[in-house]
Amino acid sequence: MMSAVKRSMVVERLRKDQMVELLSKEKRLDNRGLLDFRDIIIETGVIERASGSAKVQVGNTQVIAGVKIETGEPFPDTPDKGLLVVNAEVLPLASAYAEPGPPDEDAIELARVVDRGIRESKMIDLSKLVLIPGRKVHAVFVDVNVLNVDGNLFDATSYATVASIATAKMPKLSVDQNGQIKRTEEIIPLPIKSIPISVTLARIGDVLLVDPTSEEEAVMDARITLVFDEEDNVCAGQKGQPGTLNFDQVKLAANIAKVKAREVRKILLEGITKDAKG
């Protein structure tokens, strides 16, 4: 059972009043506008031994995702679908407040919200990952390591996951009449159907802002993450933190996130295709 309060970032919390006052003048400590993302840098193919990989920086937040593709047995209730597993870990080297040990509830929430965005947007056509229905399927494992924490892990982790999946390649497998699985020479990408884009907003006082830093997260009242596909459909969401949003703020956040998602989509697609060419 987890308790409600992390005993970290005490100083930041004491500076909440200062932050709220700044924000009421639409100013942020790093001079961004309320609805501006920090610079997003995406590099793919950074780990040769992984089937796909991506390093993503959102400001000082740094994460790295690696895809490993194996074969496995499908879940009994989805015999005709491949497996997708997204896992995230905040490494102890990522911040003064991170501790070694099994993923805590924050890391579990992070991984599950990112997983939800990938799964519900149907980014990977899991029905094309079946080798022998009910018996053998491809299993796609995405492990994300957070290397440096400076807020907005949800979006950074999501972008790294998406970029690593979108650029992953695997040897095509063939199944002969005896049900033996063999590697072929052919190298193929994963069956990609959609690119989901996650956008996270924080509410501090009465202000909604995009892409919060650690300092902003330490004083935020509530957080909301929404994930969009290319047709502006919303496909996953999660409110976080023990604060509230009023009804108008929920609707406003959805509108802002939709528009920001289009912006981030361009950056992410650029990062993904850069790798394909090079």
Partner 1 sequence: MVELINEKGLRIDGRGVDELRPLRIEVGVLKNADGSSYIEMGKNKIVAAVYGPKEVHPKHLALPDRSVLRCRYHMAPFSVDVRKPPQPSRREIEISKVIREALEPALILEEYPRTAINIYLEVLQADGGSRCAGITASAVALADAGISMRDMVVACAAGKVAGQVVIDLDDTEDKEGDADLPIAIMPNLNQVTLLQLDGIMAPEEFEKAFNMAVSACHRIYEVQRGALIDKYFGKGEAGEE
- Residues in touch with partner 1 (CB under 8 A): 1-5, 76, 105-106, 108-109, 111-112, 116, 119-122, 224, 226, 229, 231-247, 249-251, 254-255, 258
Provide the minimum distance between the beta carbon of 30 and partner 1 in the complex, in angstroms, as a whole number: 27
Measured from the CB atom, is 160 or 226 closer to partner 1? Answer: 226
Euclidean distance between CA atoms 56 and 53, whole angstroms: 10
Nearer to partner 1, 77 or 185 (CB): 77
Shortest spacing between CB 235 and partner 1, in angstroms: 5
Based on the number of CB atoms within 10 Å of its own CB, is 48 exposed (0-12), middle (13-18) or buried (19 or more)?
exposed
Nearer Cβ to partner 1 (74/237): 237
When the beta carbons of 42 and 165 are compared against partner 1, the nearer one is 165
**Which CB sits closer to partner 1, 32 or 258?**
258
Closest approach, Cβ 233 to partner 1, in A, equals 5
Place of tokens 């002969």: 176
Beta pairing partners, 144: 65, 88
Nearest distance in Å: CB 228, partner 1 = 9
Could you give the angle at the alpha carbon of 22 between the alpha carbons of 18 and 24, nearest 5°? 115
Q: Closest approach of Cβ 75 to partner 1, in Å?
A: 10
Place of tokens 């040990």: 101
Q: Output 42 or 235, the one with its CB closest to partner 1.
A: 235
Q: How far is the CB of 44 from partner 1 (least distance, A)?
A: 26
3-state SS, residue 272:
helix
Q: CB-wise, 151 or 237, nearer to partner 1? A: 237
Quickly list DSSP for 101-112: SS--HHHHHHHH
Task: Name the β-bridge partners of 220.
Answer: none
Q: Which two tokens stand for residue 225?
A: 């993450």
Task: Tell me the C-alpha distance between 172 and 229, whole Å.
Answer: 28
Write out the two tokens for 37: 């993302």
CB of residue 150 to partner 1, shortest distance in Å: 22
Contacts 24+ apart (CB under 8 A), 177-180: 179/132, 179/135
* Nearest CA-CA partner of 272 in 55, 80, 11, 67: 55
